[in-house]
Structure 1
Amino acid sequence: MRILKEFDLDLPYIINDENIESVMRTRKCDYNEATKLDYELNWKWKRRSFSLETRCITAMYERLFGRYQTNDCWKVLIECVEDSSDKRIINDSGVWSVPIQFNLSEFSAKSELEKKKTTLQLLMSGIEKIAVCHNWRVEPFKETALKIEELGYLNEWTWKKAIKSPNKKYNATVICHHNVKTMDIYIAISHRDGTQVRLEKVKSDQPDEFAYARHLGELTWESDYEVALINKKGNEKFLVAIK
């Protein structure tokens, strides 16, 4: 048995013969080398950008979904392609991938909220196809999508538990706002009754775990009125003071 707990969207590389021929002429190389160069020059950045812009919703889906027991799947990968004539659902080492029709130009022109909605629609379209194919209960997947809609597509969460100030008057927490373009990290300070005293953004980074996780090392009070977020390496500190 496997536990399904990861979801992602991908923009698979599409070979453009005109681009390949152009690269072959200008770089004087063979087809295989030209294909590698074309990917690096004309596709890699598109794929990375698309991954970053959709991660806020796929990460939110993972966080709210929890875990689901399957026979052979730990991850669902939605391949967003312009030509969806290939209907195959493929399992590669426990990753079930399915192609879903998609237009990158239309997606790029959308607002942040529209991109979030489109990401969830693409994800659910792929999940439902796989669910039908493998007789999965579709209700848990739909319930997670509904939660995201009810939360207004806002992927905001608290990192670890609140910590008390030395004088016991305040609590401090780290709040993460995972957006389409950025991950914004805040330090929030509140009275013990929950009344917020201070909310300050201390760091912004790319909206991807591999980029922002390094900033989340330790939250500690420096004094009764000053709290610090220290990165994992311990060589960077972000301070917020009450007064």
Structure 2
Amino acid sequence: MPIIKDIQLLVPEDRDTNRIFFHQTRSISFLYSRLLPNLKIKEDKGILINCVSNLSKIDSMDGDLYTMFNYFSVFVKVDVNKFLCLSSDLQKKQSALDIIQEGMEKAADVFDWDKNIFRGIYKKIQNLNFQNTYTLMKKSSPNRYYVCNIICDQGVFQIDVYMEIKKKNGSIIKREKIFSVSNTYEQYIFEDWGTLSWKQNHKVEFADKDHKEIFQLTFLEKESPENLLWKLVKR
């Protein structure tokens, strides 16, 4: 049986508005998706939360507007324009979380899931201060003493990508932002970037899958952390 791995928000009444709304809510919908336990249903792999201005309009809408292959649809009344006018990222993240929570509890009614699961996720996201930070990839140095992590910090309007070096004991030597993308749908980064390779014990490269963009980091620890040698260049 498929496991629910993704939650997406859709504005079926206005596809132009939907593109903006989808990207501004994706940080929280992906964070919520990552925190889901193994929820199995017969056919679908995701939950599609349709955000409509009036629930009474559903019956008169073309079903093709609110369906997606392998996604189970639920409907939530949302004032999308009000959401888009919210003045801060934090307000938008809280609003997106509230919408998702209502949609997931409606899905829970259908599949007889324990709603406490989703209430726990809701609280955890608040405790994380809505921060959706995750590791895109990681790799140990040839001598196994260091680990390079590629970290994504996914926000309302962009995804920031960082290169980080840790010691094998878990302590961070340094983290530096290498680029940002305005497309907040994380799958594009997953598809475009995929090569992380150590050239020496103190030199590592991160590249896109076509090797058209390469970030090369050379570092060397000193006795004092303030004297760390750290050179990050784009080739």
Partner of 1:223: 200
TM-score normalised per structure 1 = 0.77
Corresponding residue for residue 19 of structure 1: none
- 1:189 Cα deviation from its structure 2 partner: 1.3
Aligned counterpart, 2:224: none
Verify the 8 A CA contact 1:74 1:95 in the aligned structure 2.
yes
Count of residue pairs the alignment pairs up: 213
- Higher mean displacement: 177-186 or 62-71: 62-71
Sort the Cα spacing of 1:193 and 1:75 in 2 relative to 1 into closer, same or farther, 3 A: closer
1:199 equivalenced with 2:175 (yes/no): yes
Cα distance in structure 1, aligned partners of 2:8 and 2:140: 33
Shift of 1:92: 6.4
Change (3 A) 1:13 1:162: same
1:100 to 62, 72, 76: 76
Amino acid at match of 1:60: L
Q: How many angstroms does 1:154 deviate by? A: 0.6
* Worse-superposed segment, 138-147 or 120-129: 138-147
Tell me the SS of whatever aligns to 2:54. Answer: coil
Aligned identity (percent) is 28
Amino acid paired to 1:216: W
Instruction: Report the alpha carbon displacement of residue 135 of structure 1 after superposing the two structures with TM.
Output: 2.2
TM-aligned CA distance change 1:227 to 1:129, over 3 Å: same
1:185 aligned residue: 161
Q: Which residue of 2 aligns with 1:151?
A: 128
From the CA coordinates, give the structure whose radius of gyration is larger.
Answer: 1
The equivalent of 1:48 in structure 2 is 19
Specify the alignment match of 2:28 in structure 1.
57
Residue 194 and residue 79 in structure 1: after superposition, are their counterparts in 2 closer, same or farther (change >3 A)? Answer: same
Deviation string, structure 1 residues 27-82 (Cα, Å, up to 9, x no partner)? xxxxxxxxxxxxxxxx52x2211111111111111111142012443221111122
Counterpart amino acid of residue 156 in structure 2: V
Write the distance in 2 (CA, Å) between the matches of 1:199 and 1:92: 39
Cα 1:175/1:71, change in 2 over 3 Å:
same
Aligned-pair Cα RMSD in Å: 2.5
> Normalized against structure 2, the TM-score is what?
0.79
Give the match for residue 17 of structure 1. Answer: none
Query: Cα distance, 1:207 vs. partner?
Result: 1.2
Structure with greater proportional helix content? 1
- Partner of 2:133, secondary structure, is strand
Q: CA deviation at 1:93?
A: 5.2
Match of 1:235 in 2: 212
Which residues of 2 match residues 98-177 of structure 1 at below 5 A?
A: 98-110=74-86, 111-164=88-141, 166=142, 168-177=144-153
